[in-house]
């Protein structure tokens, strides 16, 4: 496989696949810790959220809200691209 960086450019730390794996595992651990903190509130074990709306108190609400909001944003953007896109030679005289 070819080197992804040109030879005159130094390799960065995220050019190594092992470092990318470390970042991904770190995100997994962070998500697990945040879910564990949310479970403390769910089982009333010393941590209590003060939600403004009832649904904010649901287990994992913010994770699901963020995930489905992001997926919805991508789907809307794909449809919006059809409406707003111009032909390739639109600006040519």
> What is the DSSP code string of 16-63?
SHHHHHHHHHHHHHHHHHHHHHHHHHHTTSS-----SSGGGGSTTHHH
Q: Is residue 43 part of a domain?
A: yes
Tokens for 56?
Answer: 């904010």
Question: Which has the minimum average pLDDT: 2-11, 12-21, 55-64, 74-83?
Answer: 2-11
What is the pLDDT, as a whole number, of residue 91? 85
Comparison of pLDDT for 49 and 27, the residue scoring more: 27
Q: Is residue 54 part of a domain?
A: yes
What is the pLDDT, as a whole number, of residue 80? 96
Q: Is residue 61 part of a domain?
A: yes
Q: What contacts 45, CB < 8 A, 6 or more positions away? A: 39
Q: Is residue 3 part of a domain?
A: no
- Does residue 1 register a pLDDT over 60? no
What is the pLDDT, as a whole number, of residue 48? 83
Residues spanned by the domain of 74: 13-84
Q: Is residue 89 part of a domain?
A: no
Q: In the chain, how many domains are there?
A: 1
Q: Is residue 21 part of a domain?
A: yes
Q: Is residue 2 part of a domain?
A: no
């Amino acid at each position: 496989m070819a080197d992804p960086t040109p030879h005159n450019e130094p390799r960065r730390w995220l050019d190594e696949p092992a470092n990318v794996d470390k970042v991904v595992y770190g995100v997994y651990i962070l998500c697990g810790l945040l879910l564990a903190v949310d479970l403390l509130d769910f089982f009333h074990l010393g941590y209590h959220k003060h939600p403004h709306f009832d649904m904010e108190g649901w287990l994992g609400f913010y994770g699901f809200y963020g995930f489905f909001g992001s997926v919805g944003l991508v789907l809307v953007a794909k449809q919006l691209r059809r409406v707003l896109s111009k032909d390739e030679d639109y600006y040519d005289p």
